[in-house]
Amino acid sequence: MPKPKVFVTRLIPEKGLELARQAADIEVWQDPLPPPREVLLEKVKGLDGLLCLLTDKIDATLMDAAGRQLKVISQMAVGYDNVDVAAATQRGIPIGNTPGVLTDTTADFAWTLLMSAARRVVEGDKFTRAGKWKTWGPIDFLGPDVSGATLGIVGFGRIGQGMAKRAAGFDMRVLYYDVQRYPIVEKSLNAEYVDLETLLRESDFVTLHTVLSPETHHLLNNSRFNLMKRSAIIINTARGPVIDPQALYRALSSGAIAYAALDVTEPEPIRMDDPLLTLDNIIIAPHIASASFQTRNKMATMAAANLSAGLTGERLPTCVNPEVYR
Ligand code: GLV
- pTM for the whole structure: 0.97
Distance 78 CA to ligand 1 centre (A): 5
Q: What contacts 257, CB < 8 A, 6 or more positions away?
A: 225, 228, 229, 230, 231, 232, 233, 234, 251
| Listed residue (76, 30, 19) closest to 50, CA to CA | 76
Regarding whether 107 and 78 lie in a shared domain, the answer is: no
Return the pLDDT at 130.
Answer: 98
Distance 82 CA to ligand 1 centre (A): 11
Return the pLDDT at 242.
Answer: 98
Distance 66 CA to ligand 1 centre (A): 24
Is 268 a catalytic site residue?
A: yes
Compute the mean pLDDT over every residue in the chain, rounded to the nearest whole number. 98
Distance 261 CA to ligand 1 centre (A): 17
Edge-to-edge strands, sheet with 5-8:
25-28, 5-8, 49-52, 72-75, 95-96
Amino acid code (one letter) for 134: K
Residue nearest to atom 1 of ligand 1 (CA): 77
Regarding whether 306 and 272 lie in a shared domain, the answer is: no
Q: What percent of the chain has pLDDT over 90?
A: 99
Distance 79 CA to ligand 1 centre (A): 5
Regarding whether 149 and 248 lie in a shared domain, the answer is: yes
Return the pLDDT at 9.
Answer: 98
Which residue of the set 10, 166, 224, 287 is catalytic? Answer: 287
Return the pLDDT at 147.
Answer: 98
Ligand 1 atom closest to Cα of residue 98 = 5
CA distance 298 to 282: 31
Count of domains for the chain: 2
Regarding whether 260 and 223 lie in a shared domain, the answer is: yes
pLDDT digits (tens, 9 = 90+) for 13-61: 999 999 999 999 999 999 999 999 999 999 999 999 999 999 999 999 9
Which residue of the set 120, 239, 266, 296 is catalytic? Answer: 239
pLDDT digits (tens, 9 = 90+) for 239-289: 999 999 999 999 999 999 999 999 999 999 999 999 999 999 999 999 999
pLDDT bracket for residue 326 (50, 70, 90): confident
CA distance 116 to 284: 11
Distances (CA, A) of 159 to 79, 109, 181, 209, 272: 12, 11, 15, 7, 30
Burial of 69 from C-beta contacts in 10 A (0-12 / 13-18 / 19+): exposed
Q: Which of 58, 78, 159, 302 to mutate to test the pocket of ligand 1 (most atoms within 8 A of CB)?
A: 78
Regarding whether 241 and 306 lie in a shared domain, the answer is: no
217 pLDDT more than 90: yes
Distance 81 CA to ligand 1 centre (A): 10
Residue nearest to atom 5 of ligand 1 (CA): 77
Regarding whether 211 and 122 lie in a shared domain, the answer is: yes
Regarding whether 176 and 266 lie in a shared domain, the answer is: yes
Where in the sequence is the domain holding 73, given as residue range(s)?
5-99+293-325
Residue nearest to atom 4 of ligand 1 (CA): 79
Regarding whether 119 and 74 lie in a shared domain, the answer is: no
Ligand 1 atom closest to Cα of residue 102 = 5
Return the pLDDT at 120.
Answer: 98
Domain harbouring 70, CATH code = 3.40.50.720
Q: Is 178 within 8 Å of 216 (Cβ atoms)?
A: no
CA distance 317 to 96: 8
- The enclosing H or E element of 223 equals helix 222-227
Regarding whether 298 and 236 lie in a shared domain, the answer is: no
Pocket of ligand 1 (CB under 6 A): 54, 77-79, 102, 290
1 pLDDT more than 90: no
Regarding whether 302 and 248 lie in a shared domain, the answer is: no
- The enclosing H or E element of 49 equals strand 49-52
Q: Is 76 within 8 Å of 318 (Cβ atoms)?
A: no
Regarding whether 142 and 14 lie in a shared domain, the answer is: no
Ligand 1 atom closest to Cα of residue 237 = 2
Q: Which of 51, 52, 53, 54 to mutate to test the pocket of ligand 1 (most atoms within 8 A of CB)?
A: 54
Regarding whether 17 and 137 lie in a shared domain, the answer is: no
